[in-house]
């Protein structure tokens, strides 16, 4: 599984697992099955309403089907039903939430990235027969790019990540602080909630790997950014920052 390192605020690095192709494929199959079931049900409703012939009901029902991926990713934080079931979702390349324009670009190029998109264009005689190998373009691009991005991802600046293997950047930053606790670094309030979330995730990584070199590197970056000095060792300094932020945030 590919691991992507993203630079967030204060030059803090957080590791994110890129969604492997197999998971993308499973999510696509689940979404496809959901869409087929939806179309089957709406087709039955349309047939019943029009006595078995194609009707305006079915035409209207096609709109949610066509917009399914776009709307689900916008309203469900980068995930469709299939993506949620498998544990993957779309993020921007900088680690943030994609904009509506980025989601729109991904959606517009879905026809090009999907094998069925080229097949439909071929059957509709929009493409000559010798373009048949192009049906594998989206798959090949996804397999060959370092971040497993399809064409739509490359143009939109998005990545599909494995949410079940992501460092706990989205865990709550808040923790209990003793009433008698005395903070040491008021400069910590120059950091944002996102910075502190990232720091908490990094501390989890440092703990799991016992990587004190990483602790020293991150501590030096924060000290330089906040222009402060500390007599604590790097690991303890990072923990103190986290507690101080919670202390000041709760006041």
Q: What are the residue ranges spanned by the domains of the chain?
A: 3-165, 186-249
- Cα–Cα distance, 104 to 90 (Å, whole number): 12
pLDDT digits (tens, 9 = 90+) for 162-208: 887 654 444 445 566 677 888 999 999 988 877 887 788 788 778 87
- Cα–Cα distance, 8 to 152 (Å, whole number): 24
Token pair in block for residue 182: 């005395």
Low pLDDT (below 70) residues in the chain:
1-15, 46-58, 115-135, 165-177, 251
- Cα–Cα distance, 149 to 175 (Å, whole number): 37
**Under 8 Å CB-to-CB from 177, ≥6 apart: which residues?**
243, 246, 247, 250
pLDDT digits (tens, 9 = 90+) for 144-172: 998 889 999 999 999 998 887 654 444 44
């Amino acid at each position: 599984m590919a691991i992507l390192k993203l630079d967030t605020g204060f030059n803090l690095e957080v590791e994110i697992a890129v969604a492997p192709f197999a998971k993308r494929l499973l999510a696509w199959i689940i979404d496809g099955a959901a869409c087929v079931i939806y179309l089957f049900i709406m087709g039955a409703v349309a047939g019943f309403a029009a006595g078995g012939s194609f009707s305006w009901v079915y035409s209207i029902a096609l709109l949610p089907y066509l917009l399914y991926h776009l709307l689900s990713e916008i309203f469900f934080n980068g995930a469709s039903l299939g993506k949620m079931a498998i544990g993957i979702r779309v993020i921007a390349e900088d680690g943030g939430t994609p904009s509506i324009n980025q989601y729109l670009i991904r959606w517009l190029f879905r026809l090009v990235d999907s094998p069925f998109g080229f097949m439909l264009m071929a059957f509709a005689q929009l493409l000559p027969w010798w373009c048949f190998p192009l049906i594998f373009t989206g798959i090949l691009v996804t397999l060959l790019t370092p971040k497993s991005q399809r064409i739509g991802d490359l143009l939109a600046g998005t990545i599909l990540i494995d949410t079940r293997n992501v460092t706990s950047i989205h865990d709550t930053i808040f923790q209990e602080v003793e009433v008698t606790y005395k903070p040491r670094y008021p400069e910590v309030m120059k950091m944002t909630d996102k910075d502190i979330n990232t720091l908490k995730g990094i501390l989890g990584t440092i703990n799991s790997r016992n990587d004190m070199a990483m602790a020293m590197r991150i501590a030096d970056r924060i000290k330089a950014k906040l222009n402060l000095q500390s007599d604590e060792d790097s690991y303890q300094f990072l923990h103190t920052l986290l507690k101080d932020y919670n202390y000041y945030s709760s006041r």
